[in-house]
Every structure is written in structure tokens, then in C-alpha cells.
Copies of this chain bind each other. A is one copy, B any other.
Amino acid sequence: MNIVISGLGIIGGSFAKALKKYTDHYITGLNRSPKPLNDALECGAIDEIGTPDSLKKADLLILGTFPQAAVEFVEKNAHLIPQNCIVADTSGIKSEICPRMTELSKQYGFTFVGCHPMAGKEKNGFSASDADLFCGASCILIPGSASFEAVDKVAKLADKIGFGQIVYSTPEEHDRMIAFTSQLPHAIACSYVLSPVCKKHKGFSAGSYRDVSRVAHINEKLWTELFMENKQPLIEEMDILINNLNDIKNALQTGDRDELEKLLAKSRQVKEGLGE
């Protein structure tokens, strides 16, 4: 296949590296700024630095950019995308992206498959990309109106480059789950490190601090976009969390040991029930 990757940040770059490591497909890179393109060409992550015209021969287009930038890229270049081409985004939000992409796909004839690789790091950019970033990770696919054949092609490719499982979902279910599994932990981490005590943590901290604060090393532009475009599910999850924190706080304040122990036991049971 001729695969074009637009946006060689950590995700697009990791797709490029993984595809070169695990498959024989021909990879063309597109990027707003030249440095990641040159770096990618030099280290063999792409075969060629492309132009929008490269899209004309693409069998698969992977969008590695931020959600809105991905939509804008397709809006601008849809007329160059062949009808037999599959377009896959990599956005962390779907309800705001998939309907518009499906609309464009119907208008121009290509196939759109929503895709969210559940992998990342607290670092960004092509320099943080890694051929094995996806190893064992979950790849969420939003088939929407795509044919079984097209979705299966993306799934098989995901499997080949190391993903551990493929999960099929809808934009709504995806966004509801991601609000909890990904966005809420980022909101927690950012809220956590703003305690005035944080700056003095060294020597007094261990794994608990490290784990809960890790993703506070955040790309604020990307996550502002992700949070804003998944506002309702995230607000709902934040409310649930704040209520649960208040339950613990109230048990503390009233000195109700039994209630506190019961709350903590409930949490342990959830983790145990999940085999974690």
C-alpha cells in the first residue's frame, strides 16, 4: 500500500516507524513544519517527503494531527483523495470528528474509519515517537458507515504493527469512556500538582505521587481542545469524582471510621473484580 501520514508528531511518527518496522508499505510523510519530515526521512521512518499531490496515489491516509486540524486537512484536500482510499484519524475525541469526516467521505467517495490508538507518553513531537509505542495497546475503531472490508483492513494493519487488541465502538460510547479513562486522569494530575506543597515533594514521595502526577506534564493546547470538545461527558465524570472525594472527606470530618473503611473497601472490590 501507499500510505500517507499527515502530521509526524508522537502518534503520526510512531505509526510511520511501526509501519516501516513491521510492514513493507511505502510511507509518505506530510507535516506543517519541515524538521520532523527531515528527521523521519533520515531515520527511515518515511520513504518520501510528500506534497498534497501525494494523496492522489494514497491507499491509506493516516491523520496524526490534532482533531480540528485533521478535519481541516481533509476539508482542504478531499478533492485529492482517491475514492478507493481509506482515511483514518487518530483523535482522542470522536463525536466532534466522525460525523463531519463521514459527511466528507460521502461527498468525495473515500472511506473514513475513526481510529484512536490508546497509547501515548507525557512527551510530544516526532522525537518522542517510537516504533513500539503501540505494542500491546488497545486500538479503538469507529466503523461508522465504512464497509466491513475497509474496517478489517485497518484492524489487520493495527494488529500487524503491534496493537494488542482491537475494540469496536461508536463515537458516543468512545467519548463517554475516554472522558473517564483518559481525560479525567489528566484533569486530576493537573489539579493535583497545583497544591502549594507539590514543589517540596522530593524526599517525601514515591510511586503514588509519581503515578498520579505523571500526565500533568501536559500539552495544554491539545488537551484544551480534547477537553472542550468532550465537555459534557468530562463534566459528568468530574462531578462523580468530586462527589466521591467529598464522601471520603465527610467520613473523615465526622470521624466515621466504619463509613470510611466501607468506602475504601468498595474501591478495592472494584479493582479486584476487574482482576487488577
Contact = CB atoms under 8 A, between A and B. Distances in A.
Interface stretch (A57-65, A104-112, A186-194): A186-194
A249 B198 CA distance: 21
A238 B198 CA distance: 13
Interface stretch (A31-39, A78-86, A217-225): A217-225
A274 B199 contact: yes
A23 interface: no
Contact of A264 (B206, B220, B263): B220
A201 B180 contact: yes
Interface residues of A, number: 91
Interface stretch (A11-19, A48-56, A144-152, A254-262): A254-262
A251 B180 CA distance: 18
B270 A187 contact: no
B209 A211 contact: no
A217 B181 contact: no
A213 to B, nearest CB: 7
Q: For the complex formed by this chain, how many copies does it contain in all?
A: 2
A222 to B, nearest CB: 9
Interface in A195-217: 195-209, 211-217
Given A180-B201, A184-B212, A202-B274, 17 more contacts: A118-B205, A120-B206, A138-B204, A138-B205, A181-B205, A188-B245, A190-B244, A190-B268, A191-B248, A193-B270, A194-B240, A201-B274, A224-B260, A235-B252, A238-B248, A241-B245, A242-B246
30 contacts: A118-B204, A120-B207, A138-B206, A140-B203, A165-B203, A174-B204, A180-B197, A180-B204, A181-B201, A181-B204, A181-B208, A182-B205, A184-B212, A185-B208, A185-B209, A186-B208, A188-B188, A188-B192, A190-B267, A191-B245, A192-B241, A193-B270, A194-B270, A208-B215, A211-B212, A211-B215, A212-B212, A216-B267, A218-B267, A220-B264
**Top-3 shortest CB links A-B:** A191-B244, A190-B267, A167-B203
Interface of A: 118-120, 137-138, 140, 165, 167, 169, 174, 176-182, 184-209, 211-221, 223-224, 227-228, 231, 234-235, 237-242, 244-249, 252-253, 255, 257, 260-261, 263-268, 270-274, 276
